[in-house]
Amino acid sequence: MSFDVVGFDFLEGLTHFLKVFGGILAAALVVSLIIAFLKYGPRGFGLFFKTIWQAIVDFVHTSPRRVWAITMLTWKESSRKKALFVFVVFALLIMFAGWFLRSSVDRADLQLKVYVKFVLTAISWLTLPVVLLLSCWGLPTDIKNRSLHTVVTKPTRRHEVVLGRFFGFSLVGTVVLLVMGVIGYFWTVGQMPAEAKSELVGRVPVYGDMTYSNREGNRPQDASEETSGVNVGDIWEFRSYIEGGTKSRTFYDFDNLDVSEIREAGEFRIEYNFEAFRTHKGDIDKRLACQMTIVNKTNGLRVPLPIFEVHEFSNRAADKTIILGGVDDDGNRIDTVTYNEEATNELKTVNLYDEVLEGGDITIEVQCLDPGQFLGMARPDLFIRMPDRSFASTYFKAVFGIWLQMVLIIVIGVTASCFVKGPVATLLTFGILVVGTGFSELMQGLAAGQTEGGGPFESAYRMFMHLNPTTGFDEGPLKSVITLVDQIAIGFLWTVQHLFPRFEYYNMIPFVANGFDVPWRASLLPSIAVTLAFVIPCLILGYFSLQLREMEAK
Amino acid sequence: MNRISSQQRKLVYLIAMGLLLAPIVYFGAPGDGSDDSGGQLSQLRSEYDLGETSLGNVDPASATMNLVLLGLRGIASNMLWGQAVEQKDQKDWAGLRATVDSIVLLQPHFKQVWEFQGWNLAYNVSAEWDGVADRYEWVKEGAKFMIKGSDRNQKYPELSWETGRILGQKIGRADEKKYFREYFLDDPNREGGGPDPDVNPDGKDNYLAAKDWFVRANEVEDQPGISQSRLARVLFRSYPVRSQIDYADTFQSEGKFDEIERIREAWEVASTELRNDWGSERFMTPAGAIVLEANDEILEAIVKEEGERFSLAEKREWVNRRQNMSNYRYWRLRCQVESEEKTINAHRNLFLGKRALIDRGDVVEAERLLTEGMVAMEEILSEWPELEQEDNFREECLKAVVLWRGAKQAQGKEVPVDFPLKNLWGSYPVEAAEYTELFRTLYGG
């Protein structure tokens, strides 16, 4: 499995958040003001500002002691509800998982995927439903049992109740997750066969920008210009192919490599994961032959590396890693690279760090040497492998990802339970979870107006007129009106889609399963940002909901 | 309202439980494996072969999974099937293998799951890999999967048959057969080499290992109440002997003539099994039972046995039909001819002659060996003229003539007007021209 890693721009995300949050807040304030005026007449203005002022005072006077008290209360309640019984299910799964998994794959190098996926998926599937139910039923049960009355009649502010619930359920979830995570870690490490233990690492990749040249060797001058290789008819269009025995190449551009870190590590590792496609049988007992050339963009040095055979689909890093530098048989550092110069075939030796990697800007050219055969690759298929992190660090980052997801569910669940009853809150939170996990792409497509057939009004018009979505729509006043109305509707959809968190960020299992470190910018940072982005608005919403809710109504 | 005390109520509950337990024990008591042991349900299960144990080996994981899922295993299997297809498209092989294992945990007695996914692994997934050793690994995965299926489902002859097909035909006839057959005896993916005990526990040739599975398929199919839906029965039952023939034939075509005795023995075994096993087996036809290795005496005995419900002429007619259907006479003749020492020697001379010409360019030696081989083939043809109709035999003879002519021309010699196999050469001018052209394309001249 491969996955494209795209960095997350925090500043852009923050700006986006402020826009959405600001927009919704402004709209909510305006609507509240109108309602206050309609309900209480001119007196409503006063009440409105008084409520806002009261909220500011409440938030400023937040008492950590009271929040802690509610947190502990929540912990006790959850323990009484036998939430920790989830451990029993987990223990059963772990005890018998060997039955289901051990014989799955005989190849030791493929077993990491199976074990990691099982453990982390089991942890998510066990913890998330438990915290979802706990958080959605906590407050409604308190209201029903009237135990909340004893709390709110004390000098406890409403947002402290909400915050205490957030923290309390998070504490329960954290304990559950921590225990399961630690057991799962030792179980995974213990289950891995001895010959595959070396795969238990967190590789740190540095990806480059990828371009192709055609069979005549023409490469786009502008790096931003999109290029692609040959489509060989694979159902999965992830990889593009270059033709062997021609001037077709793939270029991976790396800028600002940290040469000092590579020098300190004592070796320069290039890891690749190419796929072979044969148009004829060729020499069937030989794999496709390939070659890489490192080109230094600062000094123009070209270093062709030895020819290698492609070990496609192998999970053994040793099968698909080219190592320059390292140490010789006597343990001495090798800082040089020896190669045959392309034009003269003369044997040359250059310094790896001072010449080949000088300036940190390099291009790696890849070519297939077998005529008539094709070599497939995508952007994440070649990367510079920086010093590895430990398996424990990457594993627990993935557990942290599950924790962030859990906190988000708690926040949404508690907030929902502030204004609706338990079953409705459960459905609402579950709905948000489902839509955010499986339909975020569809929502984005709708909100971006990219779907064929236009927005809701244009679609309705097309249905009524029996117009195919691909059929052109005549220009004219009708089109202008429909487009305008659609834009308003799409604007509304654009706002609504942001109410559903993108849960895809939290899925860090593929990184761990494939032996990669969980990247900060592509996965951890957006996960933290999404969770934080929901905490503040949900706290405010929860506060006002409890403030305005009639506690006597069961 | 309620006049009985709590203690009395509990007592009533206890008595009710005891009463209810009696029919449960009567109906549901587990058996000890024998037919008339256990409760009523256990006996019925045993009578109708519905118990897990009567279907094959029980996998505790599978039974647990099905219990846990209650009635949702169909939905779960469908979802997993979709996932398996996606994983195959996205080349997530480890995931695919694990998903396939999960599917069979849910549907351990659904024959098509085993057949489809076993084939998928051995044929489709293996073809995706570039390295021959990797491809072999997946062929083996497919075979192991089928073996597991056969163990779990001892009443499906098709699964044993499919296992035999993977071991025999996939390993023995793929483009990579040269490597696969070697790997079957000395596995490159195994530490220390040697055969993989999961697929080849006895370290046999792949065709002989396949033969064992075909024999097992026939044994299963022999059991009362069991039938197969793969092939016409007369063909299905032929596979053990066909595998033996493949073994002998491949051994010969690979040029292992230093073990002539082994080749002869292999053909002799094939000949004996063909006549005594497959040929003597009774097959039902609209004219009652017949045997393929039939003469009037045998058929008359069957007619009498069946109370003369069918005439001898009807029997003869159906024997002829079934022999045509299964090519029986050809296989019988082939086994008979090939087990003769002179045929083996003729094959050896033609093989060595070809190698001398193509590999070493020794035209003189090639001409000598090819001439000897052609003379022997002509003698064989005169003894068994029906062999002329057999494609492989004819092809071997005509190609030998092409090579022989090539060896002559390379020495600057004229091709004589009269030469061995001249009649055959003249009778099939189109094929002769085709092989001559192929020789020119491959080797020039």
**pLDDT 10s digits, A348-370:** 899 998 999 998 899 999 999 99
* Residue A269, helix vs strand vs coil: strand
Are the C-beta atoms of residues B315 and B288 closer than 8 Å to each other? yes
- Measured CA to CA, the distance from residue A5 to residue A380 in angstroms comes to 7
Q: Which residues of A touch B105 (CB under 8 A)?
A: 100
Which helix H or strand E contains A414, and what residues bound it? helix A391-419
Q: Which residue has the higher pLDDT, B321 or A452?
A: B321
Q: Which residue has the higher pLDDT, A551 or B44?
A: B44
Are the C-beta atoms of residues B403 and B353 closer than 8 Å to each other? yes
Q: Supply B51's token pair.
A: 């118990």
The pLDDT, as a whole number, for residue A153 is: 65
Least Cα separation, residue A276 to chain B (angstroms): 6
Are the C-beta atoms of residues A393 and A202 closer than 8 Å to each other? yes
B391–A contact, CB cutoff 8 A: no
CB atoms A313 and B91 under 8 Å: yes
B379–A contact, CB cutoff 8 A: no
C-alpha dist (Å) from residue B195 to B134, B140, B190 = 16, 11, 8
The pLDDT, as a whole number, for residue A180 is: 87
| Residue A253 CB burial class (10 angstroms; 0-12, 13-18, ≥19) | middle
B404–A contact, CB cutoff 8 A: no
B383–A contact, CB cutoff 8 A: no
From the list B203, B199, B228, the residue with the least C-alpha distance to B213 is B199
**% of residues, chain A, pLDDT over 90:** 17
Neighbours of A73 (CB within 10 A): 18
Out of A105, A235, A311, closest to residue B94 by CB? A105
Q: Which residues of B touch A89 (CB under 8 A)?
A: none
pLDDT exceeds cutoff 70 at A244 = yes
Read off the pLDDT of each residue in A171-194 and give the average, rounded to a whole number.
86
Q: Supply B277's token pair.
A: 């096993």
- Measured CA to CA, the distance from residue A481 to residue A458 in angstroms comes to 10
Read off the pLDDT of each residue in A157-181 and give the average, rounded to a whole number.
87
Q: Kindly tell me the sign of the dihedral angle through the C-alpha atoms of B364, B367, B370, B376.
A: negative
Task: Report which residue type is found at B195.
Answer: P
From the list B114, B344, B173, B186, the residue with the least C-alpha distance to B252 is B344
Out of A104, A284, A288, closest to residue B175 by CB? A284
| DSSP one-letter code for A266 | T
The pLDDT, as a whole number, for residue B67 is: 63
The pLDDT, as a whole number, for residue A554 is: 46
CB atoms B98 and A285 under 8 Å: no
Q: Which residues of A touch B93 (CB under 8 A)?
A: 110, 313
Are the C-beta atoms of residues B348 and B257 closer than 8 Å to each other? yes
**% of residues, chain A, pLDDT over 70:** 90
Find the helix packing angle between B73-89 and B93-106, rounded to 10°: 160
Beta-ladder partners of A209: A253
**CB–CB contacts below 8 A, A to B:** 70
From the list A525, A527, A522, A526, the residue with the least C-alpha distance to A511 is A522
From the list B314, B370, B369, B377, the residue with the least C-alpha distance to B342 is B377
Q: Which residues of B touch A101 (CB under 8 A)?
A: 98
A100 band by pLDDT with thresholds 50, 70 and 90: low
Q: Which of residues 282-301 of A touch B (CB under 8 A)?
A: 284-285, 287-288
Q: Supply A182's token pair.
A: 């630690």
What domains sit in chain A, N to C, each tagged with a CATH number? Answer: 204-389 (2.60.120), 440-499 (no CATH)
Least Cα separation, residue B171 to chain A (angstroms): 15
A104 band by pLDDT with thresholds 50, 70 and 90: very low
Q: Which residues of B touch A319 (CB under 8 A)?
A: none
The HSE-up count of residue A231 (CA atoms within 13 Å, CB side) is 7
pLDDT digits (tens, 9 = 90+) for A45-97: 888 888 888 888 888 888 888 888 888 888 888 877 766 666 677 666 665 66
The pLDDT, as a whole number, for residue A376 is: 93
Neighbours of B102 (CB within 10 A): 22
A40–B contact, CB cutoff 8 A: no
* Residue B81, helix vs strand vs coil: helix
CB atoms B90 and A287 under 8 Å: no
Are the C-beta atoms of residues B119 and A138 closer than 8 Å to each other? no
- Measured CA to CA, the distance from residue A266 to residue A268 in angstroms comes to 7
CB atoms A315 and B94 under 8 Å: yes
User: Residue A291 — left, alpha, or beta (φ > 0 → left; ψ -120 to 50 → alpha)?
Assistant: beta
Interface test with B, best of A93, A118, A235 (most B CBs within 10 A): A235
A303 band by pLDDT with thresholds 50, 70 and 90: very high
Phi, psi at A226, each rounded to 5° = -80, 130
Interface test with B, best of A284, A286, A290 (most B CBs within 10 A): A284
A281–B contact, CB cutoff 8 A: yes
Size (chain A), residues:
554
Out of B105, B128, B129, closest to residue A100 by CB? B105
CB atoms B131 and A311 under 8 Å: yes
Give the residue ranges of DSSP H helices in A469-553. 477-497, 509-513, 525-548
pLDDT digits (tens, 9 = 90+) for A189-199: 887 777 777 77
**Residue in chain A nearest B94 by alpha carbon:** A110
- Measured CA to CA, the distance from residue A392 to residue A228 in angstroms comes to 38
pLDDT exceeds cutoff 60 at A39 = yes
The pLDDT, as a whole number, for residue A83 is: 63
Out of A101, A276, A313, closest to residue B98 by CB? A101
Phi, psi at A407, each rounded to 5° = -60, -40
Read off the pLDDT of each residue in A175-190 and give the average, rounded to a whole number.
87
Are the C-beta atoms of residues B292 and B286 closer than 8 Å to each other? no
Q: Supply A309's token pair.
A: 């055979």
The radius of gyration of chain B from alpha carbons, rounded to an integer in Å, stands at: 30
Q: Which residue has the higher pLDDT, A509 or B325?
A: B325
- Measured CA to CA, the distance from residue A99 to residue B22 in angstroms comes to 36
B365–A contact, CB cutoff 8 A: no
The pLDDT, as a whole number, for residue A109 is: 61
CB atoms B90 and A275 under 8 Å: no
Find the helix packing angle between A391-419 and A108-145, rounded to 10°: 20
Are the C-beta atoms of residues B122 and B139 closer than 8 Å to each other? yes
Q: Which residues of B touch A312 (CB under 8 A)?
A: 129-131
pLDDT tens-place values along chain B, 445 residues long = 567 788 889 999 999 999 988 888 888 777 665 667 777 887 777 777 666 655 555 555 556 666 666 678 888 889 889 999 998 998 888 778 888 888 888 888 889 889 999 999 999 999 988 889 989 999 999 999 999 999 888 889 999 999 999 999 999 999 899 999 999 999 988 888 889 999 999 999 999 999 999 999 999 999 988 889 889 999 999 999 999 999 998 888 887 877 788 888 999 999 999 999 999 999 999 999 999 998 899 999 999 999 989 999 999 999 999 999 999 998 999 999 988 888 989 999 999 999 999 888 899 999 999 999 999 999 999 999 888 888 888 999 999 999 999 999 888 888 888 999 999 999 999 999 999 998 888 877 5
Q: Which of residues 168-207 of B touch A (CB under 8 A)?
A: 175-176, 179, 189
Scan for tokens 């690749």, then name that residue: A272
pLDDT digits (tens, 9 = 90+) for A426-446: 999 898 888 888 777 777 777
Q: Supply A451's token pair.
A: 């779907």
CA angle B342, B346, B352 (to 5 degrees): 140
The pLDDT, as a whole number, for residue B122 is: 95
CB atoms A285 and B141 under 8 Å: no
- Measured CA to CA, the distance from residue B206 to residue B243 in angstroms comes to 9
A280–B contact, CB cutoff 8 A: no
B412–A contact, CB cutoff 8 A: no
User: Which of A305-309, A484-488, B317-321 is least confident?
Assistant: A484-488
Least Cα separation, residue A295 to chain B (angstroms): 29
B137–A contact, CB cutoff 8 A: yes
pLDDT digits (tens, 9 = 90+) for A336-345: 899 998 888 8
Q: Supply B249's token pair.
A: 């034939």
From the list A429, A406, A500, A400, the residue with the least C-alpha distance to A169 is A406
Q: Which of residues 241-260 of B touch A (CB under 8 A)?
A: none
Read off the pLDDT of each residue in A297-322 and give the average, rounded to a whole number.
85
- Measured CA to CA, the distance from residue B388 to residue B424 in angstroms comes to 8
